[in-house]
Chains A and B, each alone.
Chain A
Amino acid sequence: MNITSAQYTKDDKGQNYAIKIVVGDRTYYVPPSERNTDYAEILKQVKEGTLTIKDAD
Chain B
Amino acid sequence: MSKAAELANLIGNINAGGGGVNRNVIINGAMNVAQRGTSSTGLGASSGYFTCDRWLLAQSGDGRLTMSQDSSVPTGKGFANSLKLDCTTADTSIASGEFLQIVQKIEGQNLQSIGKGTSDAKPITVSFYVKANATFNFVCELNDLDNTRHISKLFATTTDWVKHEITFPADTTGAFDNDNAASLNLTFWLHAGSTYSDGTLNTATFASTTNGNRAAGVSSFYSSIDNNFFITGVQLEVGQNPTEFESEPFERTLAKCQRYYQRWQANTSYDSVCMGQMTTDVFWIGHYKLAPEMRAEPTFSADGTFKVNASNGDMNASSIALARATPQVVAIECATTDSNRQGQGAYLRAGDDSDAFLEFKSEL
Contact = CB atoms under 8 A, between A and B. Distances in A.
Interface of A: 1-2, 9, 11-12, 17-18, 20, 24, 26-31, 33, 35-39
Contact of B46 (A1, A9, A17, A30): A1
A12 B333 contact: yes
A18 B303 contact: no
Contacts of A17: 322-324
B94 interface: no
Nearest to B332: A29
Given A27-B301, A33-B296, A36-B297, A11 B361 contact: no
A28 B303 contact: no
Given A12-B279, A33-B296, A36-B296, A18 B46 contact: no
B279 to A, nearest CB: 7
A7 B96 CA distance: 35
Contacts of B205: none
Contact of A18 (B285, B295, B296, B321): B321
Interface of B: 46, 180-181, 279, 285, 295-301, 303, 321-325, 331, 333, 361-364
Contact of A38 (B46, B333, B361): B361
Given A9-B321, A12-B333, A37-B363, 9 more contacts: A12-B279, A20-B321, A28-B299, A28-B300, A35-B180, A35-B296, A35-B362, A36-B362, A38-B299
A11 B322 CA distance: 8
9 contacts: A12-B323, A17-B323, A18-B300, A18-B321, A24-B46, A28-B300, A29-B299, A31-B300, A38-B299
The dominant DSSP class at the A interface is mixed
B301 A33 contact: no
Contact of A31 (B181, B301, B322): B322
Q: Chain A CB within 10 Å — which of B279, B285, B295, B296 has the most? A: B296
A26 B297 contact: no
Contacts of B297: 31, 33, 35-36
Given A1-B46, A33-B296, A36-B362, A11 B301 contact: no
A52 B82 CA distance: 41
A17 B180 CA distance: 23
Contacts of A20: 321
10 A-B pairs with least C-beta separation: A35-B296, A29-B322, A33-B297, A31-B325, A31-B297, A18-B322, A28-B301, A29-B300, A38-B299, A30-B299
Contact of A26 (B279, B296, B298, B303): B303
B279 A36 contact: no
B307 to A, nearest CB: 19
Nearest to A9: B321
Contacts of A1: 46
A20 B323 CA distance: 11
A23 B214 CA distance: 30
